[in-house]
Amino acid sequence: MKKSSKWLKYPMILPIVMMMLTGCNHNEDDVIGFTKKSYPCEHDSSSEPVVFVAPNGRDKNNGSKTEPFATVNRAISDLAGKGGVIYLRGGLYQPTVSASPKFSEDSVKNAAIYVNRGGSQQQPLKICSYPGETAIIDGKHLNDTTTLFLIEDTQWVQVIGLEIRNARGRGLEVIVAENIALYGNNVHNNQLNGITVRGTMWGDVKKDRARNVLVEGNLVINNYKNNSGANKEKENHGQGLQARNAENIQFVNNKVVENWGEGVGLVSVNNATVQRNTIIDNYSVNLYFDNAQSSTAENNFIMATGNPATMKSDRDTNNIQMANERYDNLGHTPEFYLDKNTVRNNIIVGGHEGFHYGVYAGAHAKGQKAQFFGLRNTTIENNTFYGNHSLFNISEDPYTFNVNIKNNIFAKPTIQNTDGIISFQGLNFEQNNWYGVKPGMAASSSDVMGDPLLSKPGESAPTDYTLANNSPTKAAGIGATVKNSFLSKFRMR
């Protein structure tokens, strides 16, 4: 596959903006901290090819607006390699199996909608709902090894504004592809992962990675149902939104809620950014760094409300978790380990543990013991942790070093100590605000002790965690790399 160092038409790094705030229910139109916006699928020029698909179309038609195709795959074959726009008229589509992926695995042996020839940087292939309408891609009739919508071994594809639901396998998946963008899709009620961005699990794992993928503005809700209900304690861990064996990945402004796998997972990735997402009440862990390197989580609103449906062993979700799990079932060791990761400027509310670092083998270790690679070169700064049952659970690891935890607010309505930190080796605490917490060995001479005067602590919107004008925490930070607060106000130091 031809590689490109250039990026997509839409910019990757976006300014931090004030988030729209509504109520606290987990509905598409009632979203906490999530900026619901439209992503127009534009037909850019008279020379750009355009074809139409409609539920009442026929594949023998010519694909025009008045004579649309019936299936998405027929339209893809018309524009494969050329790029252009595929408009899906509103209504229900139930595709059948069309291909066997090149990079298959046990849970992905077939694909329904299949894209393996995209466009170019100048003319990407865009597959989107027709303006003002919603195309619904439904997979309830497919088997459990079929991905409903799969992009594989290609470049320059954009998927915009679709509803992708009820797959018995995975919903929307990108495998060993580059320069891909997924904008404003509603991916829900799929039996396995909602959105997956991954490289190969076998073979040449260094060469065959997913690279330069942007996942922005998507709703990822009620996926990985294999782990729900009676199956909840069987450790069938997947993720609502996952990057795996991937580089240069951005998850921006997505809503990831009530998935029965972990919420957002970065598994053996390099240079991933998780930015401005709303991540609430996912099974076991909301945001998981698993063998992730040089990756950043910033400006996210992460919350666990005590929802019994997503509790693990009757305990609430961990909010941010890091580990170096083993994957002996894959026949190779992970290409990356925890190193040079940053967690900054997030609001982290409720849950069993605010931050967790674990040393354990994981479900794929084939009986092997845990591996000690350490929590290394990690920065945790300018976050607000509020009301977590336990602020920390940091396992002892002789290889942990250069972990800097500074300029954070750690606040609880009831008194707690920091007993969850088994060993302080390699941990540097500095200039934090402690309230309702006895920091013990985590204390430093530069700390602020006392109520930070959050506006409405315990509530469910980011603005509930702004500081009052007379907060003792204002202008008390030091040496932070964060220039703006969560809500885009200049951060005084």
Query: Considering only 117-131, 176-190, 208-222, 467-481, which range has the smallest mean pLDDT?
Result: 467-481
Residue 89 lies in a domain: no
pLDDT at 481: 60
Residue 27 lies in a domain: yes
pLDDT in tens, 148-191: 999 999 999 999 999 999 999 999 999 999 999 999 999 999 99
426-452: average pLDDT: 94
200-222: average pLDDT: 88
pLDDT at 492: 37
pLDDT at 4: 41
269-274: average pLDDT: 98
Site of tokens 């040496």: 479
Residue 202 pLDDT > 80: no
Residue 317 pLDDT > 70: yes
Query: Considering only 272-286, 316-330, 477-491, which range has the smallest mean pLDDT?
Result: 477-491
Q: By the 8 A CB rule, do 360 and 325 touch? A: yes
Q: For residues 197 and 363, which has the higher predicted lDDT (pLDDT)?
A: 197
Residue 157 lies in a domain: no
Residues contacting 101, CB < 8 A, separation 6+: 108, 109, 110, 111, 114, 147, 150, 152, 175
Q: For residues 234 and 309, which has the higher predicted lDDT (pLDDT)?
A: 309
Q: What is the CATH number of the domain that holds 421?
A: 2.160.20
- What DSSP string runs through 110-161? EEEEEE-----SSS-EEEEEPTT--EEEE-TTS-TTEEEEEEES-EEEEEES
pLDDT at 474: 84
Residue 483 pLDDT > 70: no
342-353: average pLDDT: 96
Q: For residues 5 and 422, which has the higher predicted lDDT (pLDDT)?
A: 422
pLDDT at 362: 53
Q: For residues 446 and 492, which has the higher predicted lDDT (pLDDT)?
A: 446
pLDDT-based confidence at residue 451 (cuts at 50, 70, 90): very high
Residue 77 host element (H or E): helix 72-79
pLDDT at 210: 94
**Residue 406 DSSP class:** E
pLDDT in tens, 350-367: 999 999 999 875 555 445
State how far the alpha carbon of 366 is from the alpha carbons of 333, 361, 369, 370, in Å: 13, 9, 9, 11
Residue 247 lies in a domain: yes
pLDDT at 491: 47
pLDDT in tens, 363-403: 554 455 566 788 999 999 999 999 999 998 998 888 999 99
Residue 263 host element (H or E): strand 262-275
Residue 131 lies in a domain: no
Q: For residues 17 and 359, which has the higher predicted lDDT (pLDDT)?
A: 359
61-74: average pLDDT: 98
Residue 461 lies in a domain: yes
pLDDT-based confidence at residue 3 (cuts at 50, 70, 90): very low
Residue 81 lies in a domain: no
Residue 25 pLDDT > 50: no
Helices first, then strands: H and E counts in the chain: 1, 34
Residue 126 lies in a domain: no
**How many domains does one find in the chain?**
1
Whole-prediction pTM: 0.89
Share of the chain above pLDDT 90, in %: 65
Distance of alpha carbon 318 from alpha carbon 286, whole angstroms: 6
pLDDT at 423: 82
How far is Cα of residue 42 from the mean position of the Cα atoms in its chain? Answer: 26
pLDDT at 107: 74
Residue numbers of the domain that contains 442: 1-36+193-493
Residue 469 pLDDT > 60: yes
Percent helix, percent strand, percent coil in the chain, to nearest 5: 5, 40, 55
Residue 242 host element (H or E): strand 239-252
Q: Is 22 exposed, middle or buried (0-12, 13-18, 19+ CB in 10 A)?
A: middle
pLDDT at 211: 96
